[in-house]
Structure 1
């Protein structure tokens, strides 16, 4: 089971992390997740993706101030870079992270 400590450890030990917050009752979450996960892994292979079910671990959602689903948080080197909630497209997320990811990988 996920804990806040494990999520923080993932953020502190990986350069690129995506946290995907959802719940079993969210149809949009389930439709978006496989498309977004595939696009991120195909374009940015260094990313670590963590899916967080807010119904099982509400304390993690609360810690990251996530109050709506789906929410995607993108972290580079432990710092939050991007936050998208509810209405987002796969292209919107991948376009936003392309440049900083490329700079991080090339340096």
Structure 2
């Protein structure tokens, strides 16, 4: 029997233990029964950010962005493509800095888009500026 990996459900926020060797088998939440990975970036906010950053055992890649930011809008499709390639080994998420200004301040986000990689609740890497899907995937894997 393999060790369980904790995964926070993107739908109901329940913490699930998934056997490591079953992570790629489209696991579902034990509480709400939805898929734990959708291949799409998860929208984070002030209320769920900390839970996803600190309780997922997999790295969490966060795109700090804003609706008015041209480069953010240009990078959005590439970030969505990267999510399809990085899951289930990463949780891929977005945080709107206009709606979550306290978090943007807490993490000293000065320019956007900014990608931040979190492991075990701590930021371990950061990259500023728009990137294509290959760049996002390669950067994330190299930093995890």
TM-score bracket relative to the smaller structure? 0.7 to 0.9
User: Cα offset for 1:77?
Assistant: 2.6
Give the alignment's Cα RMSD to 1 decimal. Answer: 2.2
Higher-RCO chain (CA-CA 8 Å, sequence separation at least 6) = 1
Instruction: Please state whether the residue corresponding to 2:79 is helix, strand or coil.
Output: helix
User: Cα offset for 1:8?
Assistant: 1.2
Tell me, yes or no, if the aligned pair for 2:115 and 2:126 is still in contact at 8 Å.
yes
Query: 1:99 and 1:50 mapped to 2: Cα distance?
Result: 18
Change (3 A) 1:94 1:35: same
Residue 81 in structure 1 maps to residue 124 in structure 2: yes
State TM-score, norm by structure 2. Answer: 0.59
User: Cα offset for 1:41?
Assistant: 2.7
Work out which of the residue numbers 11, 17, 39 in structure 1 matches 2:53. Answer: 11
Q: Aligned residue for 2:99? A: 56
Query: 1:29 and 1:69 mapped to 2: Cα distance?
Result: 7
- Return 5+ residue gaps in structure 1 as ranges: 102-107
List per-residue Cα deviations over 1:81-103 (Å, max 9, x = no partner): 220112544333322332565xx
Work out which of the residue numbers 80, 84, 88 in structure 2 matches 1:41. Answer: 84
Query: 2:87 and 2:142 mapped to 1: Cα distance?
Result: 11
Tell me, yes or no, if the aligned pair for 2:72 and 2:113 is still in contact at 8 Å.
yes
Whose Rg is larger?
2
Tell me, yes or no, if the aligned pair for 1:41 and 1:47 is still in contact at 8 Å.
no
Deviates more, 1:78-87 or 1:27-36: 78-87
